[in-house]
Structure 1
Amino acid sequence: MAGASISGIGLTGLLSYQQAIATTGHNISNSGTEGYSRQRVEFSSNDAEFNGLGFSGRGVQVADISRVFDSFTIQQIRAYTSSSEQFSSYSRLAQQIDPILSDPENNINAHIQRFFDSLSALAAEPASIPLRNQVMSEGRALTERFNDVTERLNAIRNDLNQQTESLVRDINGITKQIADANRSVVEGISIGGNREPNDIIDQRDRLLKDLSALVDIQVVELNDGMVNVFLSNGAPLVVAGENKSLGTQLSTLDTRNLDVVLTNPGGNTVITDRINSGQLGGLLRFREEVLDTAVHQVGLIAQGVAQTFNTTHQFGMDINGNLGADLFVAPTVEVINASDNAGGLGASVSVSDTSQLEASAYQLFYDGTDFQITRLSDGTTTNLGAGPAPFNVTVDGLDISITASTPVQAGDRVTLSATRNAGAEIALAFSNSARLATAAPTRTQAATGNLGEAVISASEIIDPTDTNLLDTIRIQFNDPATTYDVIDVGTGTTISAGVLYVDGQDITINGSRFQISGQPVAGDQFTLERNLTSVGDGRNALRLFDIKNQTPMLNGTTSLQQAYTIGVSNVGIQARQAEIGEAAQTALLDQAVRTRESLSGVNLDEEAANLLRYQQLYSAMAQVISVADSLFNTVLGIVNN
């Protein structure tokens, strides 16, 4: 009996240390497996047995084979992986934008400068056909650069849409595998008598880490061994043994963009604004903060160029004696009604003040009581009151006429933007250089028979829309020459009589302004008339060139070129901040991974020592069995004798 007991004890040790050797070998063989958690054999003594003399031990057993892990460290790795991948995705994409906007030789600012240079040369020689053609060539090159930059930015947007679809497919594939792993874990626990299937849980943790690289997640462990997975703000991705599929659809507010949706039998739920991290979060954040900003910044400068040059060009006259028309095709203001509007909210919009324009789209919204408009670049919301439509408002240099084709319903939305398409739409309004309005439409002159010392300045146009702009006007001094009459030469009508003369004072007539200075005498005459020498007059070309020194942008504080530089630098700042964020999050991730490896990773030296120790214990247990067998044979021999 004693021999059998000793043999049994030896056998328990033999089997236990055999399992320990197998587990150690399993650790060593998986030392290169990513995400593998070192496994440890937990031993416990078998319950003792009372044999009449006392309680006798019954050997050892394997109580459990456990994973060595720390839940907090695993959560940190997921969080830092998500943040690191977000910044990496953001930074990688932002680096594509900077060369498009900042090409030293071919950026928009360089083309604006060349256009100004050509205008400066033409102002000095306004009759030169080659110089006129050069202005047209530089103007065309400028608009084509606007078009090309916008096209390249839109190509990046199309690529983002493809990447979004690809990432959503990857997310769905991983969440399905996690749901499958959940079911396998429960099955393993059931088969193993409430013991966890370590390798399957490791595989699931690897899948969760892979998922966190794509999107920010929260993981909730359940009592049955399963995990639920949610986006960080609560949208479900995996619930027990089922995964919730994501999808994409065209945005109801801008069909150029894809929205990410959670697919449901009752309809899709847009969750684009709930995805804040991971590769997908970085992509969506880049689209909003960098790509959209770049498109709107380029569009803002395009609007500024078109509106500012068109306004000034209309102050001039071309070599054929025609008043200046638009030099550039003015970009339109985009108006998009949300596709899911229940009512008839609409709007028509025009640019009224370029200096007040912002590089942004706007959302007009009706909440059931009031109309509101939100500047999407910074979220600034202005309450427009209850209306009712139609009514007019002016916001950030945009004249907005709010309309209603049918009664407006709560939730109706309209997106407005003067800058989103401007870079694509700007173009030269004509191709014939003879139509360049380089001259001033009117001129002044003193009568050759004047006897006084008074002189008249060149005329300056202040209102090119005045219907009488080109009428011939004569100023004739009375006796005494302290007053003068204003006479329309064409009709012979005296427009104003006995006007008090003030030396050097501005005189404004029919949209033109000039000054008379010095001492006139009675009978002296001065004429304001249509410019009959427009071919050699470069006054309006000089005025066009002077736009370079004006500040028509950003509330009248910056020039066209300064505004572009500010916009480009803002994009560069965003890209640099993303690089810094990526470096910081990667450092934190590396630290968390090192912490996990020190705790859960396989140390080959330690495992080799364990292997040797367990081998010695196994041999010792074999020796115990051998001794027990020898004792048994001795007893058996005595009995037989």
Structure 2
Amino acid sequence: MNKLATVQDPSDPQRSMIAITSDSGASNTLPESLISGGALSGLLAFRRESLDPAQNTLGLVALGIAETFNAQHQLGTDLDGVLGGAFFNSPAPTVMPAISSARVAIEDVSQLSSSDYLLTWDGTNYSMKAVGGSAIALTLQADGSYSGGGVNLSISNPSQIPPTGLLIQPTRYAASNLSVAISDPRKVAAGDPVSVAPGNYSGAVSDRIEGVKTLSVGGIDANSDGLADFSPITLSFSANAFTASSGTLERYDASAGSWVASGAYNPATDSSGARFRVTDAQGGVDYSFEFTAVGAWAS
């Protein structure tokens, strides 16, 4: 006697398919297109049209949060003064069926979409498209890999790709598989590698530097000991202008929405605050930080 049952989807082990099974144990899967009407059809339509897109979108949000948080965490220092590393481990895309020669990695979260991708091989060229959507251009990289749609593909033996193609799910299980990369609370990099000391300034207490924010820290750990090892920068104020002992000093022009090379600070008009940025890219060091000057500074 035949009966309906659920079986594992051969192309996606985490999903189930509807099948007709016999008393002998043999089963034949039913394409969803053949199941129309009734509660079962409604459930399958809900999974296909609502649940899958929602899960992909949630995964995309999770990857975006992880990337942004990691970037900020790597700008800070932990309780030992060491520059922060990744706070979250972002999961790799799911590839089905799994083939030993394929390596797929997230390359640019901003280029991802909430769609799954289908990669095919015609014996000469790769083609990739969003499932249910348009084609995705693939760019050959110097190392022989291909980039497109926010992912990087490296397949050493493309003949392993089945005729139906590889299903790539960059975001489907990202939210559930996202994990924390650190276990030691001391490694939480909540400190700023840039700090401010008053030096020999003897002006009013209300004259201050505040809102110090590190913007980039590339190359500041030249000896690879995990510590920020750039030399201190001295900020001086004279003749209504700040100067920095090294690097480039810029002031934020709010009206233009951009940074301009200037240290000008007029106590008569700027005492409520003005934003400045110092950037240095000499000797292999590439870092920048921002600060706000407040008060009626005296030259």
Q: TM-score range by the shorter chain?
A: 0.5 to 0.7
| Contiguous gaps of at least 5 residues in structure 2 | 22-26, 222-227, 250-260, 266-275, 281-285
Which residue pairs with 1:592 in the alignment?
none
Specify the alignment match of 2:287 in structure 1.
511
Counterparts in 2 of 1:520 and 1:270: CA distance versus 1, 3 Å: farther
Assess, with a 3 A threshold, how the Cα gap between structure 1 residues 384 and 474 changes in structure 2: closer, same or farther. closer
Contact 1:441–1:470 (Cα < 8 Å) also in 2: no
Q: Please, what is the CA RMSD of the aligned residues?
A: 4.3
1:121-270 superposed matches below 5 A: 169-170=2-3, 250-259=8-17
Inter-partner Cα distance in structure 1 for 2:48 and 2:178: 23
**Hey, what does 2:256 align to over in structure 1?**
none
What is aligned with 1:382?
A: 135
Q: Is the 8 A contact 1:345 1:404 kept in 2?
A: yes
1:486 alignment partner AA: S
Cα distance in 2 for residues equivalent to 1:249 and 1:475: 69
Q: 1:218-245 CA deviation, whole Å, 9 max, x = no partner?
A: xxxxxxxxxxxxxxxxxxxxxxxxxxxx
Question: Which entry has the higher C-alpha Rg, 1 or 2?
Answer: 1
**How far, CA to CA, are the matches of 1:387 and 1:433 in structure 2?**
42
Name the CA shift for 1:259/1:367 in 2 (closer, same or farther; >3 Å): farther
Cα separation, 1, equivalents of 2:123 and 2:19:
26
Pick aligned residue for 1:336 from 93, 96, 99: 96
Relative distance call for 1:308 and 1:405 in structure 2 (3 A) is: same
Match of 1:502 among 240, 248, 263: 263
User: CA–CA distance in 2 between the matches of 1:439 and 1:403?
Assistant: 41
Pairing 1:426–2:178 present: yes
Matched with 1:323 is: 83
Contact 1:368 1:411 in 2 (8 A): no
Does the C-alpha gap of structure 1 residues 423 and 278 become closer, same or farther in structure 2, counting only changes over 3 Å?
Answer: same
How many residues are matched?
Answer: 257
Whole-Å Cα distance in 2 between the matches of residues 407 and 386 of structure 1? 20
- Residues 313, 520 of structure 1: CA spacing in aligned structure 2 closer, same or farther, 3 A cutoff? same
- Contact 1:461 / 1:513 at 8 angstroms: preserved in 2? yes
CA distance 1:386–1:480, shift in 2 (3 Å): closer
1:444 pairs, out of 172, 187, 196, with 196
Paired residues of 1:503 and 1:516 also in contact (CA < 8 A): no
Give me the whole-angstrom Cα distance separating, in 2, the residues matched to 1:410 and 1:386.
22
Match of 2:42, SS state, is helix
Distance 1:328 1:292 in 2: 24
CA separation of 1:269 and 1:366: change in aligned 2, threshold 3 A: farther
Match of 1:372 in 2: 127
1:419 partner SS: coil
Q: What is the DSSP-based 3-state SS (H/G/I as helix, E as strand, rest coil) of the residue aligned with 1:445? A: coil
Query: 1:413 Cα deviation (Å)?
Result: 1.9
**What is the Cα deviation at residue 392 of structure 1?**
2.3
1:292 aligns with 52
Q: Distance in 1 between matches of 2:248 and 2:14?
A: 60
Structure 1 regions of 5+ residues with no counterpart?
1-167, 172-246, 488-494, 522-641
- Give the residue type in structure 1 aligned to 2:133: T
The structure with the largest strand share of the pair is 2
CA distance 1:501–1:361, change in 2 (3 Å): closer
Q: CA contact under 8 A between 1:335 and 1:415: conserved in structure 2?
A: yes
The aligned residue for residue 232 of structure 2 is 473
Matches within 5 A, 1:394-405: 394-395=148-149, 398-405=150-157
Tell me if 1:313 matches 2:77.
no
Q: Say whether residues 1:302 and 2:58 are aligned partners.
A: no
Highest RCO, 1 vs 2 (Cα 8 Å, sep ≥ 6)? 1
SS, match of residue 463 in structure 1: strand
Whether the aligned pair in 2 keeps the contact of 1:337 and 1:415 (CA below 8 Å) is yes
CA distance in 2, matches of 1:385, 1:506: 38
Preserved contact between residue 370 and residue 386 of structure 1 (Cα < 8 Å): no
- 8 Å CA contact 1:337–1:345 kept in 2: the answer is no
Does residue 1:277 correspond to 2:36, yes or no?
A: yes
User: Greater helix percent: which structure?
Assistant: 1
Identity of aligned residues (%): 21
Using the alignment, how far apart are the partners of 2:241 and 2:60 within structure 1? 51
SS in 1 for 2:171: coil
> Which residue does 2:145 correspond to in 1?
391
Deviations 1:458-494 (A, max 9, x none): 431111444255423223659989785635xxxxxxx
Matches within 5 A, 1:86-105: none
Task: Note the C-alpha offset of 1:261.
Answer: 6.8
- 1:253/1:345 Cα in 2 relative to 1: closer, same or farther (>3 Å)? farther
In the TM superposition, residue 323 of structure 1 has moved relative to its aligned partner by: 2.5
Q: Distance in 1 between matches of 2:179 and 2:139?
A: 39
Per the TM alignment, residue 277 of structure 1 is displaced from its structure 2 partner at its CA by: 0.5
Check 1:345–1:413 CA distance in 2 against 1; reply closer, same or farther (3 A cut): farther
Structure 1 residues 507 and 464: alpha-carbon distance in aligned structure 2, compared to 1, 3 A threshold:
closer
Which amino acid letter does the alignment assign opposite residue 507 of structure 1?
V
Partner SS state of residue 196, structure 2: strand
**Partner SS, residue 364 of structure 1:** strand
The answer to whether the 8 Å contact 2:104/2:153 transfers is yes
Check whether the contact 1:456–1:514 (CA below 8 A) recurs between aligned residues: no
2:12–2:97 contact (8 Å) kept in structure 1 = no
Q: Is the 8 A contact 2:117 2:169 kept in 1?
A: yes
Closer/same/farther in 2, CA of residues 295 and 485 from structure 1, 3 Å limit: closer
Alpha-carbon distance in 1 for matches of 2:242, 2:158:
62
Structure-2 change in CA distance of 1:387 and 1:459 (3 Å): closer
State the Cα deviation string for residues 480-538 of structure 1 (Å, max 9, x = none): 89785635xxxxxxx689xx7521543223423234757675xxxxxxxxxxxxxxxxx
Aligned position for 2:271: none
Q: Secondary structure at the match of 1:284?
A: helix
Asked if the contact 1:317/1:441 (under 8 Å) is kept, the reply is: yes
* Residue number in structure 2 paired with 1:462: 215
Task: For 2:43 and 2:238, locate their aligned partners in 1 and report how far apart those are by CA, in whole Å.
Answer: 80
Normalised by the size of structure 1, how large is the TM-score?
Answer: 0.34
Query: In 1, Cα distance between the equivalents of 2:262 and 2:61?
Result: 45
